Amino acid sequence: MNYKTLEVKPHGENVLVVTLNRPEVANAINTQMGHDQLDFWSRLSAELGKIRCVVLTGAGGRAFCAGGDLKERDGMTQAAWQAQHELFERAFVALVECTVPVIAAVNGHAFGGGLEMALCCDFAYAAQGARFALSEVSLGIMPGGMGTQNLPRAVGERRAKELILTARPFNAAEALEWGVVNRVCEPGKLMPEALETAEKIAANAPLSVRQAKKSIHYGLQMDLLTGYRFEIEAYDRLVDTDDRREGVKAFNEKRKPDFKGK
């Protein structure tokens, strides 16, 4: 996979590291990055191969992603803006619906669409100096990358309203306290810790991980009993798999299981 704005590298056999690669503009999202992300996340879900987990981060030391590229957008017609945003919308949905877990390693500032991108991942780790904001209302627009949906799900409705309506930035410690990120790391330890977690996920049964991710994601959009029925449907698909048989056999033989994703 060769992209102009993304760097995609394997980490071992089962993990991919995807880097937003426009460091000269704080990894801002331009039209090309929209095309690249839509293609990558869609293709990955369709052609997983041996990939079991992804770590998403930003190039350079100062930013994960600064949000939409406002220099590219300066002077855009309404039609061009809306066409570009339709592309971005499809890319965000493809990320949310990615089959395998995606961990955001927020190495620097995540503003606007950059924070929305991190919120679209399954969970996030952040460097100590990272700062966050959904600042769109200060620009005459509003969050349009699931920010008004994902932030309340992470921090609660009242705090999300405060953060979005004031457009105020917040730091990594606050992001941890409020549930935006799962862990705050020293800058030099961010990627090692994110990759260690990705490796732990990748060592588990891949079909089980994917079914559990799907059950959590969609179950939270249902009432409890409907979500539970969805969970059981996902569970039942795992019973007649080689990995389930291997997992039980390995447990009884007191050895590490060798999962094949079958």
Report, as residue numbers or ranges, the catalytic residues.
116, 136
How are beta strands 15-20 and 6-11 bridged, if at all?
A: antiparallel
| E strand or H helix at 57 | strand 53-58
Order of strands, sheet of 170-171, starting from the edge strand that comes earlier in the sequence:
63-65, 109-111, 131-133, 170-171
Among 126, 128, 131, 130, which residue's Cα sits nearest to residue 181? Answer: 126
Distance, CA of 101 to CA of 227 (rounded, Å): 20
Q: Which value, to the nearest 10 degrees, does the dihedral of the CA atoms of residues 141, 175, 18, 5 take?
A: 30
CA torsion sign for 101, 107, 112, 114 is negative
Distance, CA of 64 to CA of 113 (rounded, Å): 11
| Cα-only R_g, the chain | 19
Distance, CA of 182 to CA of 34 (rounded, Å): 26
